Amino acid sequence: MSDTVRTWRHIQQRYNLIGTKCTTCGELFFPSRVVCPNCRRKGNLEPFQFSGKGKIHTFSVIRSAPDNFKKSAPYAVAVVELEEGAKLTSQLVDCDVEDIEIGRIREDGEDGVISYGYKFKVIK
């Protein structure tokens, strides 16, 4: 799938953190699913917008980056646990990688435009 097609196909979930919620069991999923793995065909999924707030579950600092990201190194990639419970992998931005701690992030804020991936800012 080309990058352009992939970008447009996933634009809702990328820019709005839209996943799904099973109305049968209450489980939340991100990214969206078409079938609830718990309820299977008895499940009923509906769109669900996540808040974008959460905490850093774990992270890694990339110091030796691949060619496309060499100008950004060092940078941090984290598993972010959203307040609603879903976890996603994200780049952490606008922070000193030495100051990152597990448990602290905030939503993308006034100037935040998510571009081709999920990014979170660290709270100090």
Which tens digit of pLDDT belongs to each residue from 57-94?
999 999 999 888 888 899 999 999 999 999 989 888 88
pTM > 0.85: no
Nearest residue to 112 (alpha-carbon basis) of 29, 53, 31: 53
CA-to-CA separations, 41 to 27, 31, 35, 82, 91, in angstroms, rounded? 14, 19, 7, 26, 35
**Token pair listed for 90:** 């994200």
Same-domain status, 61 and 45: no
Range of the domain at 77: 54-121
Same-domain status, 16 and 67: no
If one counts the domains in the chain, the total is 2
Distance CA 13, CA 48 (A): 10
Backbone angles phi, psi at 67, to 5 degrees: -50, -45
Same-domain status, 41 and 70: no
Same-domain status, 38 and 7: yes
Of 11, 29, 49, the residue that ends a domain is 49
